[in-house]
Amino acid sequence: MTSEVADISLIISSRNRASGLDSCLQAIAVAALQASELKLEFIFVDNGSTDGTSDVVSRWSATAPIATTLIFESRPGLSHARNTGIQNARGRILAFTDDDCEISPDYFVTVARLFAEDTARVMRGGRIDLGDERDLPITIKTDTEHAVMNHYNHPGGFIHGCNMTFPKALADAVGLFDTRFGAGATFRSGEDTDYIHRAFRAGFKVEYTPHLVVKHFHGRRSMDQVQRLFDGYSYGNGALYAKYMFVRDSNLRGMLRWDIRQAFKEFFGGRNLDGALGLTYRNTVRQNMAGLWAYWRSQGTRQASS
């Protein structure tokens, strides 16, 4: 990994987002102008776009108030793209958001302040507001209280990958994202859940703060879109349950048991996962089992070919 010469590296991965990047980039520019005393860099990883996404970023960067590195990563998948960002980052602190998000004007200042106050090794995530009121209220986190993850918390959703920060030393200790997980990969999702879990097991404090804010313009407005999204999340979680099934210090086995218990209760008249969005524990467990089986099958295939 490269030597550290910046205070904060903001990393965004994108694919075929040329028509929707302007507001994301403008928000970065505004936040950078408010943090002129900090050494900042922006790393944009184009993950195989064919629509001129890189051209949009290149034109913007010519006058942007933040040093920008544009990288083309041909290997498909969010984890590959994020790993490329990490490997090229020069910041002491790494910050991640998505190409459909807008960081708050005080984002960089807040990141710097929070990490300057740390007395322990911390992975930190923040508030995610709904950017467009026409979108359904999903993939957001609007808790108003600070929270620290413990062994009883599921890492998925405790903090979100679209508003996640940690010192580069964490990546040195934990490693890179598992490229089997995440959008565009075999197990569809869960790369951030896996990474949070690994950081927690490695002894890093994982915390949520409502003071670090992004707006998420995810664009999902139909129940079918929500169901497909949560099917992918549940499938990825199932693969993670398989990955850590025999890891003694992992709490994910307990999370799978909890989902199964809730599915049984639901079957006999208990509450749904989210009735308003049409989400059920039974479908969650079905997708968990599909992902779990796919992970074990992939392990058998890898062993047979080695």
Q: What is the chain's length?
A: 306
- Return the closest-CA partner of residue 126 out of 152, 171, 162: 162
- Give pLDDT, residue 171: 98
Q: What is the mean pLDDT of residues 2-17?
A: 91
Confidence of residue 3 (pLDDT cuts 50, 70, 90): low
Q: C-alpha distances in angstroms, 184 versus 14, 15, 46, 79, 96?
A: 11, 10, 13, 9, 18
pLDDT at 255 > cutoff 70:
yes
Give the pairing type, strands 122-130 and 164-167.
antiparallel
Mean pLDDT over the full length of the chain: 96
pLDDT digits (tens, 9 = 90+) for 196-246: 999 999 999 999 999 999 999 999 999 999 999 999 999 999 999 999 999
Under CATH, what is the fold of the domain 6-216?
Answer: Spore Coat Polysaccharide Biosynthesis Protein SpsA; Chain A (3.90.550)
Q: What is the pTM of this model?
A: 0.96
* Residue 214 token pair: 């992004």
CATH 3.90.550.10 residue ranges in the chain?
6-216
pLDDT at 108 > cutoff 90:
yes
- Give pLDDT, residue 253: 87
pLDDT digits (tens, 9 = 90+) for 49-99: 999 999 999 999 999 999 999 999 999 999 999 999 999 999 999 999 999
DSSP conformational letter for 2: P
pLDDT digits (tens, 9 = 90+) for 15-39: 999 999 999 999 999 999 999 999 9
Q: For residues 70 and 12, is the Cβ–Cβ distance under 8 A?
A: no
Q: Compute the C-alpha angle 92/166/252, nearest 5°.
A: 155
Whole-angstrom distance, CA of residue 131 vs CA of residue 134? 9
Q: What is the mean pLDDT of residues 104-110?
A: 99
pLDDT at 300 > cutoff 90:
no
